[in-house]
Chain A
């Protein structure tokens, strides 16, 4: 089995005969002269405003709410879409789910089957962080987010995050994320432009995405 491996590596080395033996990867210069967004504090009101605007550009509904009203807004948002059968992953902040009817809530503990996930109206989660410049949410399976299938199969995803979780740029986001966890970057509801390049929102992922930013 190792022969293909050895042969490919040998071919690579032969192909690189022009690279001096003594050269190390770090000897090949890489200028990181691009912006990293480092000077903007994550929770600045402009940063949150930019995030809201950019995510809404993709067809998601995004609102900023005060922490005192978070639980009310979560319940109201779900009700307005007629969503009563819910998945709310473990460790979703109780302060935000306080006004949801316990009867319709499931926690994915023990894990629901795909058919059970397919039968719920909505999933309500937190996020690991959000990126203002690109209007992106990032999920990492942390507290209140659940495994990946939970935010994929249900047709409506309501995501609640704190304003201080919004970072300015892609470089800032990557430096805060743990690559060893499975990550999902979400920029709006699923979409396709495969037919005459006309954008259609809602294909296989959740067709509706709503986001509440709590400040």
Chain B
């Protein structure tokens, strides 16, 4: 449990290291291919997919532009339904609140259902310091936790481990698992046995939430294994840690997201289990419900008019699965629980650009646009990347954090981007429709001073050139 992303090398070094790990690349390439195909199939089934995406985007825009209103409404409804709402300005405050709530129950063990937000805050370590043991119950999270490893994918955090590696891990760390084989069904059964008594005895559960409905105070958890239901239902106390951007206005709005999320995420028409609850219910489930609302850099993201759309993200991971850079470098290179294209735009905004890693992330992309094409809430990730690149170059002011030619190009870009008139002229000249960069892997030459920038860094891999060669040619 001592693993952390803190102090990780910046993206280019970490990526180069990962590129050398052929086993990981093979695991990842196979996994992302499978999931891409499944997604395409179930998305293709819905003739109204584009309308759903647009509604998903617009609802988030409505929410974010009136976030204060919806947060206050949410708090009021959760409280009226018997829950308690806590506010945390940053990760440390969230961890302190949760630790105190657990201590108040007198318990020393908690069961956890996969939650990106508590990974982001490093909750498990904070609990450990306070003498509280947190059991991750999602199979992939369990694999990561037992291996003292780091998650590398939003949906399948142990995507970088194959069955043989997992078998070895289980044999080593689980009591009574010496004889377990490497068939996934057998491994899942071992995990079931290992966790069953923990679920049945648990007094405190910790979760995140995929959505919070302001109108009703309802929380929603979308999952597959039933570990979520266990954590949400059996304990006496439930603590949910959720980012403030997870609010949606009304119950009806879930009709959009409950269609967008499973199809984009696991490539299923619907995930096995979705639980919704509103406060507490007599005779059914926990008697105490605490909702911890986390800012943790989200208001900074909200303040950036281009970056704001990043908060639309419903953490489906579709953008990871289509990203040529992610597929080859893996998730760890991003130095965060949020890897891939979304990580490249979210981390520098949530954490700021104070570290070399966060400064390098906006450059961890070929701007091919595939992430935007699949994003169920239409986040224009390339647009945000370009915006953040400009910011990094501006902040570092020519110090050698980024290659010098690029800094020059970015200053030119800033000149263009800083004026709407110049920008639209550049866009018209580039004949790229509404976007500065072209989709589908081809980047057109931008006019004038921007030409150097498109030539230098963002040229796509010529057809047939292996990524590694391309990477080394363009990134060394």
Q: Could you list some 24 contacts between A and B, CB below 8 A?
A: A4-B86, A8-B295, A24-B66, A28-B61, A33-B48, A58-B268, A134-B270, A147-B283, A152-B226, A152-B230, A153-B200, A175-B255, A179-B213, A182-B285, A183-B275, A186-B272, A187-B270, A188-B272, A191-B224, A195-B158, A195-B184, A200-B188, A202-B188, A204-B227
Enumerate chain A residues within 8 angstroms of B58, measured Cβ to Cβ.
28-31
Enumerate chain B residues within 8 angstroms of A198, measured Cβ to Cβ.
184
Q: Are B229 and A148 in contact (CB under 8 A)?
A: yes
Enumerate chain B residues within 8 angstroms of A16, measured Cβ to Cβ.
65-68, 302-303
Identify which of A68-76, A93-101, A110-118 touches chain B. A110-118
Please provide the chain B residues from 271 to 304 with a CB less than 8 Å away from any CB of chain A in the complex: 271-278, 281, 283-285, 293, 295, 299-300, 302-303
Min CB–CB distance A40 → chain B (angstroms): 14
Q: How far is the CA of A35 from the CA of B81 in the complex (A)?
A: 32
Given A8-B295, A170-B258, A190-B226, also A30-B65 (CB < 8 A): no
Enumerate chain A residues within 8 angstroms of B143, measured Cβ to Cβ.
194
Instruction: Confirm or deny: A19 has a beta carbon within 8 angstroms of a beta carbon on chain B.
Output: yes
Min CB–CB distance A139 → chain B (angstroms): 10
From A11, A30, A57, A152, contact of B62 by CB (8 A): A30
Q: Are B299 and A12 in contact (CB under 8 A)?
A: yes
Enumerate chain B residues within 8 angstroms of A5, measured Cβ to Cβ.
75, 87
Q: Are B284 and A187 in contact (CB under 8 A)?
A: no
Min CB–CB distance B142 → chain A (angstroms): 9
Min CB–CB distance A142 → chain B (angstroms): 12
Instruction: Confirm or deny: A180 has a beta carbon within 8 angstroms of a beta carbon on chain B.
Output: yes
Chain B residues within CB distance 8 Å of chain A: 27, 30-31, 34-35, 46-48, 51-52, 54-55, 58-59, 61-62, 65-72, 75, 81, 86-89, 93, 137-140, 143, 156, 158-159, 162-163, 166, 184-185, 187-188, 191-192, 195-196, 199-200, 213, 216, 218, 224-227, 229-230, 232-234, 244, 249, 251-252, 254-256, 258-259, 262, 266, 268-278, 281, 283-285, 293, 295, 299-300, 302-303, 305
Q: How far is the CA of A51 from the CA of B162 in the complex (A)?
A: 35
Give the contact-size bracket for chain A: 35 or more
Known contacts A174-B258, A184-B274; can you find 18 more A-B pairs with CB under 8 A?
A8-B244, A9-B71, A12-B68, A15-B300, A30-B55, A133-B269, A148-B229, A149-B233, A152-B226, A171-B252, A179-B216, A179-B218, A185-B270, A191-B224, A195-B158, A195-B184, A197-B30, A204-B137
Enumerate chain B residues within 8 angstroms of A197, measured Cβ to Cβ.
30-31, 34-35, 156, 159
Instruction: Specify which of B138, B216, B268, B278 lies most central, judged by the most chain A CB atoms within 10 Å of its CB.
Output: B268
Min CB–CB distance B202 → chain A (angstroms): 10
